[in-house]
Amino acid sequence: MSPTLTQSAPLAVDPNDGLALLEGDGKRVAAEYGIPLAVLLELTHRCPLQCPYCSNPVEMERSRNELTTEEWKKVLDELAEIGVLQVHFSGGEPTARKDIVELVRHASELDLYTNLITSAVLLNKDKLTEIADAGLSHIQISFQGSNAALADRVAGFRNAHAKKHEVARWARELDLPLTVNAVMHRQNLDQLEQIIDMAVEMDADRIEVANVQYYGWALKNRAALMPTIEQIERSTQIVEEAQVRLKGILDIDFVIPDYYAERPKKCMGGWGRQFFNITPSGKVLPCHAAESIEGLDFMSVRSNHSIAWIWKNSEAFNRYRGTGWMPEPCRSCAFKEVDFGGCRCQAFALTGSADNTDPACSLSPFHEKIFKTAQTESETGTNRFIYRNFAGGTLEAESADDA
C-alpha cells in the first residue's frame, strides 16, 4: 500500500507496527483467524526425569495408547492443511519416541516451524544431528538449577545437569537456535541469577524463566515448591535488571506464579481462543492440563471428526469459550475480556468446580483462604518432593533439612 519510501512514509518498523505480533499480546487472534497458529504435540508421557512440577496429568497415558507414527503424520498433515504454522514437539520426553526424527522431517517438509521441547538426557550427538538435519527450527532444553547437586535432585535423575550442558553445546555447534527453559520454585529461585548467567555462558538465544503453575503434579508438590513472597519480589528485580543488561544478547521471558498476582493469568489466551494441544493418545485439549477437569469429554483425532471440527464444534472447547459461561464476580467484571476468568483447571482443582472464577483472582471468594494456605506452605511447608512417575508418585528420601 505504501507508494513510496520517503521520509514521510518511513520504513522503520516498530514491533507493534510493521511487524505485528500475531499472538501473545492480547490481540483477538482466534476470533480473527480461527485455527491457532501454534499447537503443542505431546508425543508421549514417558520421560526419564521425575520433576515434581511436571505439567503432565497425574494419570499419565501408557505407551500402548500412544498414536502411531502414521497417526502422528496424519495429524501433522491435517494441521498444516488447516493453517497451523508452528508445532511444538513435547511430552513427556519427545525423544523417547523412536520416530522423533521422522516426525520432525515430516513436519518440516510441510513447511511447519518445528520446535523440540526436551529434557535432552536421551540425546547423543548423532541423534541430535539427525534431528537438526531433518529440519528442526528450534530447541528448548529444560534446566532444573544452576548446579548439578540441586538440578539433579529436582529432576530425580543422576548426571542430568551435566548431560544437558553437553547437549546444549552440540546444539550450538549445529547452529540450532537454543532456548533454556528454567522452571522456578522455592527450591531453586535463589539460583536465578546464576541460571541466567549460565544461559548466557552456554550462548542461548533465549531463556524462559517460568514459575511453576500449580495443577497436576505441581499441586501435589505445592508445599515443597511454593515460593516465598520475598523470593518472588527478588526474582522480579533480577529479571527486570537482566532484561535491560542483556538486551541483544539473551531474550528473557518471565512468568510469575499467579498465586501472588492480583489478577488471574489469561490462561492459554482464553479457553479455546488461540491454542490447543494433542495428547499422546490423540485427544485434542484446550490446554495441557484440561484432562484434570472432571466431567468434560475431550474428543480424539481417532474419532471420526476432523481436528478443525473438534476445535470449532466440540462441547469441551465451547464450554468455557468467550464470556457467556461466566458466573459472578466475572460476569460483571471490567476485566472479563482481559483474563477470561483465568485458569479453568485451577478453578476446578482449588474450588471443586471449573465454572468458578479462578481463585488466583482477588475477587474470588476463595482467594483469601488459598493465598493464606500457599503463603503458610511457602514458609513452613515440607521440602520433600513427590517425584513424578507412572506409579502415582514416590516421596523423596528424607533430606537433612527435614530430618
Partner 1 sequence: MIRTAPALRRRMTATLDSVPALARGVKLRLDETRERWVLLVPERVLAPDEIAVEVLQLCDGERSIAAIAAVLAEKYAAPEEQIGADVIEMLQDLADSGFLIDKGGTRP
Q: Interface residues with partner 1 (CB under 8 A)?
A: 1-7, 10-13, 15, 17-24, 33, 35, 37-38, 82-83, 85-86, 111, 113, 115, 136-138, 175-177, 179, 197, 200-201, 203-206, 245-251, 253
Nearer to partner 1, 180 or 310 (CB): 180
SS3 92: coil
Q: Residue 249 Cβ, how far from partner 1 at the closest point, in Å? A: 5
DSSP state letters, 252-294: EEEE--GGG-SS---GGGSTTTS-EEE-TT-BEESSTTGGGST
Beta strands per DSSP E along 276-403: 276-278, 284-285, 386-387, 394-395
Nearer to partner 1, 171 or 361 (CB): 171
Q: How many residues does the chain have?
A: 403
Q: Residue 162 Cβ, how far from partner 1 at the closest point, in Å? A: 20
Nearer to partner 1, 275 or 387 (CB): 275
Nearer to partner 1, 17 or 126 (CB): 17
Nearer to partner 1, 179 or 292 (CB): 179
Distance CA 227, CA 296 (A): 32
Backbone angles phi, psi at 101, to 5 degrees: -65, -45
Q: Residue 299 Cβ, how far from partner 1 at the closest point, in Å? A: 22
Backbone angles phi, psi at 78, to 5 degrees: -65, -40
Q: Residue 245 Cβ, how far from partner 1 at the closest point, in Å? A: 8
Q: Residue 331 Cβ, how far from partner 1 at the closest point, in Å? A: 32
By DSSP bridging, strand 178-184 and strand 251-255 are unpaired
Nearer to partner 1, 111 or 401 (CB): 111
User: CA 45 → CA 11, 97, 357, distances in Å?
Assistant: 47, 10, 30
Cis before 94 (ω within 30): no
Q: Residue 121 Cβ, how far from partner 1 at the closest point, in Å? A: 22
